[in-house]
């Protein structure tokens, strides 16, 4: 589920459509205007919280039985779907859980950065639409509100867990800034919010880039084809490749 808008269709959204979303099982662009190539679902709300609620409700009503996991991304994200599947592979889609770059609010409660994108299990989506949204005491009505924190509040109130998406070595796999920002180094004085509000303490005040990176943000439209080429087409002679298939898991993790 890609969040976009009409004036970004021809460049950002169209290039996303031609690159990494081709590896999704199903791709829906949620927008306020029509476009011949990306064929978006027209959403009436422009405010981020209202747009998210309407979008997830549409996905639940028309595509709930067509997928096990539901990714929400934006038209400036690049997502490596193979690594996302690797993260989700041990988990049952019946587990009420969602993953992304985990932040914390002033009360220390977890929520996922909307900039990095996040993914909900089938059960998490069901609980959000069927249990959280109809109850205005646990989920904010109306269209106004900060998407990421409002979603976290709704999901927490219906027992959905904020999962840990870090790799085995503790490195982050979702990134709320651009890849170039991380490679240059995020200085505490320039990124005070992230240093103070990341849910997991930064090791040695650094932001380690994981070799199992899943998503990063603020990708310039001119870089989408470049990333596509270097990740999926370029090969270095002598470099060992990862196995082509994941092993069979008899009993995926399921948390009631």
180-200: per-residue pLDDT in tens? 777 776 666 667 777 788 898
In a domain, 40, yes or no: yes
Alpha-helical regions (H) of 14-121: 14-18, 48-63, 81-88
pTM of this structure: 0.91
> SS3 for 69?
strand
State residue 207's pLDDT score: 55
- Asked if residue 241 belongs to a domain, the reply is no
102 domain residue, yes or no: yes
- Return the SS3 of 75: coil
**Residue 252 placed within a domain:** no
The percent of residues above 90 in pLDDT, for the chain, comes to 71
Structural domain for 68, as ranges: 2-232
Rounded Cα–Cα distance for residues 200 and 166 (Å): 10
* Domains held by the chain: number: 1
Q: Please provide the average confidence, as pLDDT, over all residues in the chain.
A: 90
Coil/strand/helix, residue 231: helix
Count CA within 13 A, CB hemisphere, residue 241: 10
> Does the residue 225 lie in any domain?
yes
Greatest extent of the chain over all pairs of C-alpha atoms, in Å: 59
Domain for residue 238, yes or no?
no
- Output the domain CATH number for residue 128: 3.90.550.50
pLDDT at 233 over 70: yes
112-167, pLDDT tens digit by residue?
999 999 999 999 999 999 999 999 999 999 999 999 999 999 999 999 999 999 99
- Return phi, psi of residue 10, to 5°: -65, -30
Taking the C-alpha atoms of residue 227 and residue 18, their distance in angstroms, rounded to an integer, is: 12
Give domain status of residue 237, yes or no.
Answer: no
Q: Is residue 254 part of a domain?
A: no
Can you tell me the distance from the alpha carbon of 159 to that of 175, in angstroms, rounded to the nearest whole number?
25
Examine the pLDDT at 7 and tell me if it is beyond 90. Answer: yes
Residue 196: its pLDDT value, please?
A: 83
Beta strands in 65-194 (DSSP E): 69-74, 78-79, 97-100, 102-104, 110-112, 118-121, 161-162
């Amino acid at each position: 589920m890609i969040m976009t808008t009409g004036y970004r269709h021809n460049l950002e959204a169209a290039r996303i459509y031609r690159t990494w979303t081709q590896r999704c099982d199903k791709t829906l662009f949620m927008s306020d205007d029509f476009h011949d190539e990306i064929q978006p679902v027209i959403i009436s709300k422009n405010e981020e919280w209202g747009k998210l609620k309407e979008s997830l409700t549409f996905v639940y009503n028309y595509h709930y039985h067509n997928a096990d996991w539901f990714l929400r991304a934006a038209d400036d994200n690049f997502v490596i779907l193979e690594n996302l599947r690797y993260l989700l592979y041990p988990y049952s889609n019946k587990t009420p859980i969602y993953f992304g770059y985990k932040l914390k609010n002033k009360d220390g409660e977890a929520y996922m950065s909307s900039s990095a994108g996040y993914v909900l299990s089938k059960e998490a989506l069901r609980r959000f639409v069927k249990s959280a949204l109809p109850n205005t005491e646990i989920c904010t009505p109306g269209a106004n509100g900060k998407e990421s924190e409002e979603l976290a509040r709704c999901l927490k109130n219906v027992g959905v867990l904020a999962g840990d998406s870090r790799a085995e070595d503790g490195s982050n796999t979702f990134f709320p800034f651009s890849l170039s920002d991380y490679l240059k180094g995020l200085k505490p004085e320039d990124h005070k919010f992230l240093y103070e509000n990341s849910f997991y303490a930064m090791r040695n005040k650094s932001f380690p880039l994981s070799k199992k990176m899943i998503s990063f943000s603020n990708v310039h439209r001119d870089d989408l084809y470049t990333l596509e080429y270097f990740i999926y087409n370029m090969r270095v002679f002598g470099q060992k490749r990862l196995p082509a298939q994941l092993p069979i898991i008899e009993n995926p993790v399921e948390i009631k």
